[in-house]
Amino acid sequence: MKDFTSTPPPVKHIAEPTVRRLSGYLRFLEAFDVEGHETISSGELARAGGTTSAQVRKDLSFFGSFGKRGLGYAVKDLIASLREILGLDTRWPVVIVGAGKIGAALAQYRGFGTHGFDVVGIYDTDPSRVGTRLNGVTVRADRDLEGDIATLTPRIAVLCVPGEAAQAALDRVVGAGIRAVLNFAPTSLVAPEGVTVRAVNMATELEVLAYALTNESRD
Amino acid sequence: MKDFTSTPPPVKHIAEPTVRRLSGYLRFLEAFDVEGHETISSGELARAGGTTSAQVRKDLSFFGSFGKRGLGYAVKDLIASLREILGLDTRWPVVIVGAGKIGAALAQYRGFGTHGFDVVGIYDTDPSRVGTRLNGVTVRADRDLEGDIATLTPRIAVLCVPGEAAQAALDRVVGAGIRAVLNFAPTSLVAPEGVTVRAVNMATELEVLAYALTNESRD
DNA sequence: AGTTGTGAAACGTTTCACAGCT
DNA sequence: AGCTGTGAAACGTTTCACAACT
């Protein structure tokens, strides 16, 4: 049972590009804080995030007034506010499906933990991978997936399976109650309403670059 | 009244989200083609790409009339047109900077080659990695980077170095003439005008999911 | 009958510009 | 003097709706 007497929940809808920018501001601010800076102006944040000062102020003012006119924003306070806005004031348990090269590389990625995400399970169909340890987590058989989701209650699944297996993997984690999925398989997936799927697709990123190169010569 | 007597070169600007969708259509069409389908309607493409039929038609009609009314689009023709639009009718040489877990995983990713991208060089500072082979390409010392870019003339660099080293790596490849960069390091980079940098950032993707989960319960 | 291609409307995001604090 | 917060304008993208075509 939750108690909201102290902190009323924000009920605003933010567009995805905004969320991405906020995430970028947060990452820069964390480094800026370590360097010992106490305040930052919208202009400085804009330069770091590749946007404009007006955009930064619009993005932040959407959630309230965090800055001091004439001074800028208090770095530590802004970090705390952004963490709360992005839902990073709790830790998020995550399962990784697929312990191949990408799955294994991700499992060993430090940033997972430092950004509030805990890998609570890694699954693979290949018996030779089951039982191996990756960064302190033992790879389990894929048949354990549904049971583990029920007991460990991760909210996010990261799919690192081959393209052919991705839709089936998605269906399984969704069936087990997961509603947020990060897909590293190079296939576009169909998910039911209410399930958020984000795709990280090498081919698409490279194609965006190829397009940029093809058309840069003009202008 | 427009004058079409002398056709000026087509200088269309496409927004990035459009390029991403086109890339997605292409990927789906390739699979659809393999399944033996000869035509596809905008509605079918929309379902696969997670968008609407009107959007699909707008996206495609931007470049000309590819469809047949009452019938749909010829799958093979549309694949060819999309490849041309995206600049995938040539092959793109690519260098990978950093042969750690992510760099190595990417180097072995098959989709690179099948989508028109050739890995022509992989570089690392760690002597124990230099000389090892990844998918037919030998890892070379990072000091060879500039010389190799000059001789092999890759147009795209993929950065898979640690965050602290990413800006320096970017500066080096840009200095050597690269103008399109895919950054896997978890840092936001500053690039000069005319250089396109795309970032693939696990933390950001997870934060977008965390935000979605935090705010889904309402509405 | 079915589906494309496309102006026009609706919608959303970004930029501008300046009032209002510190 | 400096920088934020924000209404209003500008801009861009998506959706609508229907004429045109096979």
Integer distance in angstroms from the first to the last C-alpha of chain A?
Answer: 59
* Percent of chain A whose predicted confidence (pLDDT) is above 70: 93
Q: Which nucleotide is nearest to B64 (CA to C1')?
A: C5
Beta-strand relationship, A137-141 and A133-134? antiparallel
Look at residue B217 in the predicted model and tell me its pLDDT.
Answer: 53
Instruction: Please give the average per-residue pLDDT across A104-130, as a whole number.
Output: 94
> Could you write out the DSSP letters of every residue in B74-100?
EHHHHHHHHHHHTT-SS-EEEEEE--S
Q: Is pLDDT of A7 > 90?
A: no
> What's the rounded Cα separation, in Å, for the pair A194 and A192?
6
CA-angle at B106, arms to B102 and B112, nearest 5° = 165
**Residue A80 forms contact with B (CB below 8 Å):** no
Closest CB from A102, A180, A212 relative to B105? A102
Binned at pLDDT 50, 70 and 90, residue A217 comes out as: low
Structure tokens at B48: 């696969």
What percent of chain A has pLDDT above 90?
Answer: 80
- Distance (Å) from CA B161 to C1' C1? 57
Residue A108 to residue B116: CA distance in whole angstroms: 30
Residue A9, pLDDT above cutoff 50: no
Chain center to CA of A46? 21
Q: What is the pLDDT of residues A153-166, one digit of tens each?
A: 999 999 999 999 99
Closest residue to C16 (CA to C1') is: A54
Nucleotides in chain D near protein beta carbons (<7 Å) = 1-7, 12-17, 20-22
Indicate yes or no: strand D within 7 A of the C-beta of A69.
yes
Residue A40 is given by DSSP the state E
Provide the pLDDT for residue A188: 87
Strand order across the beta sheet in which A180-183 lies: A133-134, A137-141, A117-124, A92-97, A156-159, A180-183, A196-199
As a whole number, mean pLDDT of residues A120-140 equals: 97
Q: Which residues of A fall within a CB distance of 8 Å from B106?
A: 202
Nucleotide D1 C1' to residue A29 CA (A): 26
**Rg of chain B over CA atoms, in angstroms?**
21
Could you tell me the distance in Å between the CA of residue A35 and the C1' of nucleotide C19? Answer: 34
Average pLDDT over residues A208-212: 94
Q: Given the structure tokens 């997972």, which residue do they identify?
A: A112
Query: Helix crossing, A202-216 with B16-34: angle to 10°?
Result: 120
Mutate to test the interface with A, among B164, B189, B211, B219 (most CBs of A within 10 A): B211
Is the distance from CB of B80 to CB of A80 less than 8 angstroms? no
Is A218's pLDDT higher than 50?
no
- pLDDT (average), residues A90-108: 95
A213 close contact with B: CB closer than 8 A = yes
Q: Are B73 and B106 in contact (CB under 8 A)?
A: no
For residues B174 and B216, give the distance between their C-alpha atoms in angstroms, rounded to a whole number: 42
Instruction: Please give the average per-residue pLDDT across B146-172, as a whole number.
Output: 97
Measured distance CA(B101)–CA(A104) in Å, rounded: 8
Sheet strands (E) in chain B: 39-40, 67-68, 72-74, 92-97, 117-124, 133-134, 137-141, 156-159, 180-183, 196-199
How far apart CA B45 and CA B25 sit, in angstroms, is: 7
- The answer to whether B93 faces chain A, any CB pair under 8 Å, is no
Q: Which SS3 state, helix, strand or coil, does residue A140 take? A: strand
User: What pLDDT score was predicted for residue B10?
Assistant: 46
Please determine, for residue B218, whether its predicted confidence score (pLDDT) is greater than 50.
no
Please indicate if any CB of chain B lies within 8 Å of the CB of A127. Answer: no
* Whether B208 contacts chain A with CB within 8 A: yes
Q: Which DSSP helix (H) or strand (E) runs through A197?
A: strand A196-199
User: According to the model, what pLDDT value does residue A28 have?
Assistant: 94
Residue B19 pLDDT exceeds 90: yes
- The dihedrals phi and psi of B69, each to the nearest 5 degrees, come to -65, 140
> CB of A17 under 7 A from strand D?
no
pLDDT of residue A125: 98
CA–CA dist B141, B148 (Å, integer): 11
| Alpha helices, H only, A35-100 | 42-49, 53-61, 75-85
| Shortest CA to C1' contact from B40: nucleotide | C3
- B95–A contact, CB cutoff 8 A: no
Q: What is the DSSP letter of A101?
A: H
What pLDDT score was predicted for residue A4? 34
pLDDT at B4 over 50: no
Q: Is A28 in CB contact (< 8 Å) with chain B?
A: yes
**Distance (Å) from CA A36 to C1' D3?**
21
Q: Is the dihedral of CA A75, A80, A83, A88 positive or negative?
A: positive
On the question of pLDDT at B9 being above 50, the answer is: no
Is residue A169 within 8 A of residue A192, CB to CB? The reply is no
Q: What is the pLDDT of residues B35-85, one digit of tens each?
A: 999 999 999 999 988 899 999 999 999 888 889 999 999 999 999 999 999
In this complex, the answer to whether residue B58 has its CB under 7 A from any atom of chain D, a nucleic strand, is: yes
Cα gap A65→A46, rounded to integer Å: 17
State pLDDT tens for residues B91-131: 999 999 999 999 999 999 888 899 999 999 999 999 999 99
Structure letter (DSSP) for residue B144: G
Amino acid at A28: F
pLDDT in tens, B207-216: 999 999 988 6
**CATH numbers and ranges of domains, chain A:** 16-85 (1.10.10.10), 92-204 (3.40.50.720)
A156 with B210: Cβ contact below 8 A: yes
- Tens-digit pLDDT profile for residues A166-190: 999 999 999 999 999 999 999 889 8
pLDDT at B188: 87
